[in-house]
Amino acid sequence: MRLIRGVAIALALVLLAAGGVGAQEITLSVAVSLKDAVEELGRGFMAARPGVTLRYNFGASGDLQKQIEAGAPIDVFLSAAQRQMDELEKQKLIVSASRRAFARNVLTVVKPADSRIDIAKPADLLEARVGRIVIGSPKTVPAGQYAEESLRALGLWERLGPKIVFSENVRQALDYVARGEVDAGFVYTTDAATRAHGVKEAFRPPDDSYRPIVYPGAVVAASKQPVIGQAFLDLLGSPQGRTVLSRFGFQPPPAGAR
Amino acid sequence: MSPDNLSALRLSLQVAVVSTALNALVGIPIAYLLARRRFWGRSLVDLLVTLPLVLPPTVVGYYLIVLLGRRGVLGAPLYELSGFTVAFTWYAAVIAATVMALPLLVRTVRAAIESVDRDLERAAYTLGRSELRTALEVTLPLARNGILAGLVLAFARALGEFGATLMLAGNIPGRTATVPLSIYTAVQTGESGEALGLVAALTALSCLVLVVANRLGARAA
């Protein structure tokens, strides 16, 4: 009997402690291409605010959007495309007033670092030597959506059909290229920079073949910590935030974008 | 049901059938050897054959990539010689399903063989039959129900394979997106109607397979 009481008290203490006495935690769903930049900004954010903990949920923006729609306890959403944010805004799942664009990215085609296949322009992807090309699954991955848009605009989508394989997110596409599983892949320039030893840029699809890659961020409507969430969004938009983002290769958002 | 879903069903059945056939070819001899013979490395073979059963599918998937990826231990020479890689093809789905289902087949068949009366085998030997002929004409036929039960279980496991398949074969509609992978994608994209259809189909199929396996197992006892 005493043993059971002892265990019950110990359990209660453990649960209380885990409840986060005094800690304020927010969870951010972040497009995986932002991983390195957000982690760095987050470290500075937490250092300046003792007691605040940031938890990250990285993934393809489409998957993250669906999770928020399904009621996942997320405080802030940073998306790699406006489409996913628009969907959430339509369903009133984000705080519209908090929404702002904070970065812009550029699409590039990479090949394995030791590849000896010459790929210098889009039409080269049709060559027989290029066996497989990876893009993020257009159903859920913005990078894949932009890639498909670009290939369609260039008239290559149908002809490349059987060569294209899908990945679950843009970092997996990058990984496939770095591992040599495919001959080329569509990723962001910022992703290519994180794997400089594994991949090299082959060419960049023409800017006018896809819509601008705008990254919006917003506080989720159901968030229990909107103030902290807004503070992080403010950091993203601040000069300090922009410096860190540009160090990772992100560009400032187009004027007027949200 | 959408064309993508129908192709997922067709692909799943194709993969499961081929994988079970491969498992029969490889697994029944292994089960016989483990049941009836002492040989150097026996424990190691037993361990390797059982490992996919206890390891998480993603661990098995990882090893398969290391082995068969384009730069893999076996994949690199294969690519050098033929320009072919298994990753992202339905062969990869077959390999993943085969490896994950093999332990189920081997264990079931081994148990069935071990339960065959050795006196009957010895009788065949005294009548001049070689071990191979005895195995084929006496032991395996007597273990038949257990073998069938093992095949059916392996088929069910191959049908439901997800983790290792996703890693080695990818999730490409029409080519490697089996039913479990398609359900995953449908849920990810909020297509609950599609998901439900696939779930219902796979559940019905798996129930059928298990009922058959149980009947065969009961007859073996």
Tell me: the pLDDT tens digits for A115-164?
999 999 999 999 999 999 999 999 999 999 999 999 999 999 999 999 99
Give the model confidence (pLDDT) of A155-208 as tens digits.
Answer: 999 999 999 999 999 999 999 999 999 999 999 999 999 999 999 999 999 999
Q: Could A66 and B188 be called an inter-chain contact, meaning their C-beta atoms sit closer than 8 Å?
A: yes
Are A74 and A34 part of one and the same domain?
A: yes
Cα–Cα separations (whole angstroms), residue B58 to A166, A224, B52, B55, B68? 19, 35, 10, 8, 15
Is A100 in the same domain as A111?
Answer: no
CA distance B6 to B10: 6
Cα–Cα distance for residue pair A145/B186, rounded to 1 Å: 17
Domain count, chain B: 1
Structure tokens at A190: 């910022």
Shared domain check, A114 and A100:
no
Q: What band does B172 get if pLDDT is binned at 50, 70 and 90?
A: confident
Task: Using the predicted structure, report yes or no on whether residue A15 has a pLDDT greater than 70.
Answer: no
Does residue A36 lie within any of the structural domains?
yes
- Tell if the CB–CB gap between B188 and A139 is shorter than 8 Å: yes
pLDDT band, very low/low/confident/very high, at B218 (cuts 50, 70, 90): confident
**Structurally, how many domains does chain A consist of?**
2
Q: Which residues in chain A have their CB less than 8 angstroms from residue B188's CB?
A: 62-63, 66, 139-140
Q: Do A168 and B171 touch (CB under 8 A)?
A: yes
The ipTM (two decimal places) reads 0.73
- Nearest residue to A165 (alpha-carbon basis) of B91, B154, B87, B60: B87
Same domain, A120 and A145: yes
Whether the CB of A165 is below 8 Å from some CB of chain B: the reply is yes
The verdict on A220 and A100 lying in the same domain is yes
Residue A255 has which token pair? 């004027």
Res. B20: pLDDT tops 60: yes
Q: Which residues of B touch A (CB under 8 A)?
A: 69-71, 83, 85, 87-88, 170-173, 185, 188-190
CATH of residue B16 = 1.10.3720.10
Q: Which domain holds residue A84?
A: 21-104+213-247
Contact between chains at B88 and A181 (C-beta distance less than 8 A): yes
Nearest-by-Cβ selection for B70 from A69, A139, A180: A180
Mean pLDDT for B139-166 is 92
Using one digit for the tens of pLDDT, what is the confidence trace for A62-88?
Answer: 999 999 998 889 999 999 999 999 999
In a domain, A255, yes or no: no
Residue A42 pLDDT:
97
Query: Based on the domain organization, do A217 and A90 belong to the same domain?
Result: yes
CATH number of the domain encompassing residue A222: 3.40.190.10
Q: Is A181 on the interface with B (CB under 8 A)?
A: yes
**Model confidence at A16: pLDDT above 90:** no
CB atoms within 10 A of CB B154: 30
Are both A27 and A75 inside the same structural domain? yes
State the average pLDDT over residues B40-56. 94
Query: B68 is written with which tokens?
Result: 């068969």
Tell me, yes or no, if A189 comes closer than 8 A to chain B by beta carbon.
no
- Same-domain pairing of A224 and A97: yes
Range of the domain at B43: 3-220
Residue B25 C-alpha, separation from nearest chain A C-alpha, in angstroms: 30
pLDDT surpassing 60 at residue A18? no
Does A129 lie in the same domain as A57? no
Nearest chain A residue to B68 by CA distance is A181
Residue A12 lies in a domain: no
> Across the interface, which of B87, B188, B190 has its CB nearest the CB of A181?
B87
**Domain shared by A98 and A164, yes or no:** no
